[in-house]
Amino acid sequence: MLFIQKCQNCNAQFSWSKIYKSFLWTYKPIKCSECGTIHKITIPGRIIFVSLTIVPMLIFANFLSPFSNLIATLTIGILILIIGSLLTPFFVTYKKSF
Ligand SMILES: [Zn+2]
């Protein structure tokens, strides 16, 4: 099992979708459904998020693309972005905010 963030107050496990939704709303703070504690994304968390999504996409688009076709490159680039973002809830960390 991969690690997914737990509530720092009551240790309740956050769900993958709860964290993923937080990203969709530009790192919206997560509220624990058990105790209501608000958690904010950490700065390293933001860096991890970007390095799993934007960075691989740009590397692919700039250096690795086998396509001379811009549309094909963009499509794969966006696919990489989506796959990367699906993995981020396992790596990004949140901390209790007061
Ligand atoms: Zn909690």
Task: Tell me the per-residue pLDDT of 2-60, one tens digit each, with 9 for 90 and over.
Answer: 578 999 999 999 999 999 999 888 889 999 999 999 999 999 999 999 999 999 999 99
- Centre of ligand 1 to C-alpha 77, Å, is 37
- Centre of ligand 1 to C-alpha 83, Å, is 28
- Centre of ligand 1 to C-alpha 37, Å, is 6
Task: Please give the Cα distance from 89 to 19 (Å, whole number).
Answer: 6
Task: Please give the Cα distance from 90 to 19 (Å, whole number).
Answer: 9
How many helices, marked H, and strands, marked E, lie in the chain?
4, 3
**What integer is the mean pLDDT of 58-71?**
87
Per-residue model confidence (pLDDT) at position 64 = 85
CA angle at 97 for the pair 92 and 98, rounded to the nearest 5°? 175
- Centre of ligand 1 to C-alpha 35, Å, is 4
Grade residue 1 by pLDDT with cuts at 50, 70 and 90.
very low
- Centre of ligand 1 to C-alpha 16, Å, is 15
- Centre of ligand 1 to C-alpha 90, Å, is 18
Helix, strand, coil share (%) of the chain residues, nearest 5 = 50, 10, 35
Q: What letter represents residue 76's amino acid?
A: I
**What integer is the mean pLDDT of 73-94?**
93
- Centre of ligand 1 to C-alpha 11, Å, is 6
Task: Please give the Cα distance from 89 to 67 (Å, whole number).
Answer: 30
Task: Please give the Cα distance from 82 to 87 (Å, whole number).
Answer: 9
